Structure 1
Amino acid sequence: MAADPDEELVRRVGAGEPAAVQTLVARKLPRILALAVRMLGDAAEAEDVAQETFVRIWRHAASWRRGNARFDSWIHRVTLNLCYDRLRRRREWVTGDLPDVADPAPLPDAHSEEEAHRVERALQAIAPRQREAIVLVYYQGMSNIEAAATLQISVDALESLLARGRRSLQAILAEDGADE
C-alpha cells in the first residue's frame, strides 16, 4: 500500500499539537461536511456530524494506525456511520419525507438551480447504500477502489451499487420530468 499522505498529520494530532488539529480540520472539513449534507439532506445535522467526526478523530488519533485503508477512507467511514445513526433515528422518531434540498449550491452537473434541486431530491429518494456509493464516487471524487474500501465492500459490489443508483436516479428524474 502506498504511503498515506495524512499519516504524519494524524500522528501529530495524536501527539496533541494544536496546529496539526487546525491543519487537519482545514484539510478535511469541506469534504466531510459535503458528504454529510448529501447523505442527510440537512445542513445543520451535517454540521453536527462533521463536528462529531472530528471529535472522534481527536480522541482516536493517538491510537490510529495505518491498516487496510487510508486515513481518508477511515474518516469517510466514520462520517457515514454517524450519518446512518441519524437516519436510523429519523425513521424511529419522525414520519414524513426528508427535506427537499440538501445543499443550496448547484451540483457540478446541474444546468440550473431547479435542476440541481431535482437531482438533490432524487438523490435523497434512492436506496441509502446506492446514495452512499454515488456520493463517494461522484461528489467526493473517490476512485472506485477508495470508495469500496470506505464502504468495506468489493469493487464489484461498489460498481453494482453505482449502476443501480444511476438507474434509480434516472428513473426518478424521468418520472419527475414527466410530472411537469
Structure 2
Amino acid sequence: MDDRDPDTQLIERVGRGEPAATRAFVAAKLPRVLSLATRMLRDVAEAEDVAQETFVRVWRNAGAWQPGRARFDTWLHTVVLNLCRDRLRRKRVTTSDAVPDVPDPAPDAEAGLIEAERGSAVARAIAALPERQREAILLVHYQDLSGAEAAAALELSVEALESLLARGRRTLRARLGGLQEGEA
C-alpha cells in the first residue's frame, strides 16, 4: 500500500468544515461512487440515494479520519459496497429480478439495439454472479481499483480476490460464450 494517501489533505479540510473542500471532494468522487452504485443496484435513483448516504457518512467521519490505516478511497468504496448490499438484501425480499425493456428512440436503432442487448446480457451475467464475485469484478474492471485496493475494500487477501476474479471471469465466459458479433 502506498504510504501517501492522495486524499488526506482534502479529507482533513472536509473534516474542518471547509465548504470549498467539500465541493471539491464531491466533484472528485461522485462520478465513481455513482458508477459503482449504479452497476451494483442497476437503478439510477437507488444509486443516487446510496451516493447521498455515502457522502453524509464522509462528512460525519472526515474529522475522525486517521491517515495511514487504509487509503480513504478504499474506505469510500467499502461504504458504497455496504450500502448497496443492504439495499439489495431489502430488494430481494420485496421485488423480482425482472429487467424492464427500454426502447431506443434513435432513428436508426438496429445497431444500437444490438449493442444495448449485448450490454444488457453482460449486465445480467454480472448481476447473476455470486455477490462477492460480482463485487470483485465491478471494483477491478469497472472502478479500476488495483488488486490490492479492491482486496482491501472487500476485506480480503489479494490471493482471495484473485480467486474470486478467476471464478467470476470463468462464469462470465461460460454465460456469454454464445454472444458473437451480431448476435444478442
Are 2:124 and 1:121 aligned?
A: yes
SS of aligned partner of 1:62: helix
Residue 137 of structure 2 aligns with an amino acid whose one-letter code is I
In structure 1, list runs of 5 or more residues that go unmatched. Answer: 105-110
Alignment of 1:25-174 (within 5 A): 25-94=26-95, 96-97=96-97, 99=99, 112-174=115-177
In structure 2, list runs of 5 or more residues that go unmatched. Answer: 105-113
2:49 & 2:150 partners in 1: Cα distance?
A: 23
1:175 & 1:99 partners in 2: Cα distance?
A: 21
CA drift at 1:92? 2.3
CA drift at 1:98? 5.1
Q: 1:167 to 1:98 in 2, by over 3 A?
A: farther
Contact 2:5/2:68 (8 A) holds in 1: no
Q: TM-score, normalised by structure 1?
A: 0.88
Alignment of 1:2-17 (within 5 A): 2-17=3-18
String of CA shifts for 1:83-125, please: whole Å, max 9, x gaps.
Answer: 000011012222x215368xx9xxxxxx923211211111111
Q: TM-score, normalised by structure 2?
A: 0.86
1:63 & 1:98 partners in 2: Cα distance?
A: 42
Alignment RMSD, CA only?
2.1
1:100 & 1:171 partners in 2: Cα distance?
A: 24
2:18 & 2:169 partners in 1: Cα distance?
A: 43
Count of aligned positions: 170
Contact 1:69/1:150 (8 A) holds in 2: no
1:156 & 1:74 partners in 2: Cα distance?
A: 20
Q: Find the structure with the greater CA-based Rg.
A: 2
Question: Could you say which residue in structure 2 is the equivalent of 1:108?
Answer: none
